[in-house]
Structure 1
Amino acid sequence: MANNKLLVNERQADLGQFMVGRLLPFRKKRQVGPFTFIDHMGPAVLGDGKYMDVDQHPHIGLSTLTYLFKGEIEHRDSIGSVKLITPGDVGFMTAGHGVTHTERTPQFRRTSDTFEMHGYQIWVALPKDREAIDPNFQFFDKTQLPEWKDGDLTIKLVAGNAFGKSSPLQGYSQLFMVDIYAEKETTLDLANQLKGEVAFVIVEGEITEKDHKVEAGQMLISKTDEQCSICLDSGTRLLLFGGLPLEDEHYLLWNFVSSSKEKLQEAKVRWQNKAFPKVPNDDTYIPIPEPRRK
């Protein structure tokens, strides 16, 4: 592996009936551009009594981006948003000064039939001057996102700006997220196509970087920003994340992100005191995990 790249392997986490693979943050790299947290959901077979049920929990100082390849998630939040997110759609909830939400398998899927669930949830840290904005929820149908062919590649611009195109989802800082599928073995050259730091998340298949194979479930982070190229094997799907780093250092405490450690502690106390707004007609509550004892 070239010394201008970082290779990250998923760390599995068990969320009750659902396994999640965590890619970011990790010890050597806390953020890529403004992206501060990447969870890989599945692939998993759900149904027949096994469903996704993430109870009410809070956020501050970030936007959550939900992007699916298979299955559906019903999003509900304390703003009053209720939205079904299906493969190719994007749900983008901005927490600002504070929001709560739930993520569940929709009711119509709760039968004896089984189905596949596979996707990603990503956290994007807000710039310091936007951390305390009012919460909001944006939804973009798959048909609203730019998608095009480039040789043997199918490219979809999920968020931000890349390859000379702009997504309707812009977020609050200079960023990009791109979904790329290679029908045949081909080379992807990113020179002058993106701006900022870039991470490659291998969803399916594998890529080759300087004779080193990077497989599904791994993430490759370039230390030289966007000036790089990779070879994609036939049938490979990957996600590109990144952008310009935020000016101020950001910190992470459970589901909270902020440039201020004091605000993280304040949010913790607010949640413990049940002072956050609630999702309508939902009394569930996820407590803050106790720190691990060494």
Structure 2
Amino acid sequence: MAIVQLIEPEVKDLGGFIARRSLPYPHRQTVGPFIFFDHLGPSVLPPNKGIDVRPHPHINLATLTYLFDGTLMHRDSLGTVQEIQPGAVNWMTAGKGIVHSERSPNIDRQNEAIIHGIQTWIALPVEHEETDPWFMHYTADILPSWEENGAVIKLIAGQAYGYTSPVKVFSPIIYLDVMLSSNAHFTISTDYSERAVYSVTEGLSINDEPLEPYRLAILEPGHQVKVSAAETAQFIVIGGEPLGKRYKWWNFVSSRPERIEQAKADWRDGRFANVPDETEFIPLPEVVTEANPF
């Protein structure tokens, strides 16, 4: 059995654009250190509209933003202002606490725009949860990419197939963007104990079994898996080594529930640093039913 669990994401309307949320999921909190997986779009934003995710906090995790299409402007409480474009990586280590916003750049609001990408949260090892926060942008051209058997592979983060991504990570992970041409295939190695395939498009099969689009397929440990395509198709591979139980409430993730309670109080009482030149913020919710996508 190649697939041990098949996750159909929950679809969220996040104010004009769609997010398909695969993680966390009932009976599946993480894949390796990946604790949150959102597929954003593809959504068309009309003229004079855009994405406006107001400043909000994170602790004890890292966020990784990777776009297929469109642009976003990241601002954070460290003073970072960084636009991300397709194929690049924005990595933000929240550590002991950070606040950030994600918005459509002003120039993109003048015309119709598309937003399409993947947003993930990555749990930090216990010994790094309270590290000082930091942000790093990695341009598309420095991420390793190669071709084999009709597949074009980009290593977004981690180590795989003899390549190492420059993206600084805190534990062993694999994060690939794979584009298959018609009748091509790609074999997923057994280097990591937890692995999953997300079908960005239709036309994919895992060990010759069709995989519907927008599904996160959790793979059986210890077995090579062949992903093939009858037509041009795209998928994401995530995985790594598990880090143990994590607690999640709203935008907070930690190995310690008491740390989340402290973060809630700190945000409610205004003790997080501010994002420069931004006065809006997302208030602490009274009841949490979902996490913010950014």
Query: What TM-score, normalized by structure 2, do the two folds share?
Result: 0.94
Counterpart-to-counterpart distance in 2, 1:253 and 1:151 = 43
| Cα distance, 1:206 vs structure 2 | 3.1
Q: Note if contact 1:191-1:229 (Cα within 8 Å) is conserved in structure 2.
A: no
Task: Identify which of 143, 160, 163 aligns with 1:162.
Answer: 160
Residue 256 of structure 2 corresponds to residue 263 of structure 1: no
| Distance of aligned partners of 1:102 and 1:153 in 2 relative to their CA distance in 1, 3 Å threshold | same
Taking the TM superposition and a 5 Å limit, the aligned residue runs for 1:24-63 are 24-63=23-62
Task: Identify which of 213, 218, 221 aligns with 2:215.
Answer: 218
Residue 137 of structure 2 corresponds to residue 115 of structure 1: no
Counterpart-to-counterpart distance in 2, 1:44 and 1:232 = 24
Counterpart-to-counterpart distance in 1, 2:279 and 2:51 = 17
Counterpart-to-counterpart distance in 1, 2:215 and 2:37 = 12
SS in 1 for 2:200: strand
| Residue of structure 1 in register with 2:147 after alignment | 149
| Cα distance, 1:210 vs structure 2 | 4.5
Q: Note if contact 1:178-1:240 (Cα within 8 Å) is conserved in structure 2.
A: yes
| Residue of structure 2 in register with 1:285 after alignment | 281
SS in 1 for 2:263: helix
Counterpart-to-counterpart distance in 2, 1:290 and 1:107 = 32
Counterpart-to-counterpart distance in 1, 2:125 and 2:117 = 26
| Cα distance, 1:257 vs structure 2 | 0.7
| Cα distance, 1:47 vs structure 2 | 3.4
| Cα distance, 1:195 vs structure 2 | 2.1
| Cα distance, 1:292 vs structure 2 | 6.4
| Cα distance, 1:233 vs structure 2 | 3.0
Q: Note if contact 1:203-1:217 (Cα within 8 Å) is conserved in structure 2.
A: yes
Give the share of equivalent positions with the same residue, in percent. Answer: 37
Taking the TM superposition and a 5 Å limit, the aligned residue runs for 1:1-294 are 2=1, 4-111=3-110, 113-192=111-190, 194-225=191-222, 227-246=224-243, 248-291=244-287
- Given residue 57 of structure 2, which amino acid in structure 1 is its aligned partner? P
Unaligned runs of 5+ residues in structure 1 are none
- Given residue 112 of structure 2, which amino acid in structure 1 is its aligned partner? T
SS in 2 for 1:16: coil
Question: Over aligned residue pairs, what C-alpha RMSD do you find?
Answer: 1.6
Counterpart-to-counterpart distance in 1, 2:223 and 2:254 = 26
Query: What TM-score, normalized by structure 1, do the two folds share?
Result: 0.94
Counterpart-to-counterpart distance in 1, 2:63 and 2:189 = 28
Counterpart-to-counterpart distance in 1, 2:222 and 2:7 = 17
Structure 1 stretches of 4+ with a deviation exceeding 6 A read none
- Given residue 263 of structure 1, which amino acid in structure 2 is its aligned partner? R
Counterpart-to-counterpart distance in 2, 1:161 and 1:134 = 24
| Cα distance, 1:3 vs structure 2 | 7.6
Aligned residues: 289
Superimposed CA distance per residue, residues 213-257 of structure 1 (whole angstroms, 9 cap, x where no aligned partner) = 2122111011315632232332110010010111x3111111011
| Cα distance, 1:107 vs structure 2 | 1.1
- More off after superposition, 213-222 vs 34-43: 213-222
Unaligned runs of 5+ residues in structure 2 are 290-294
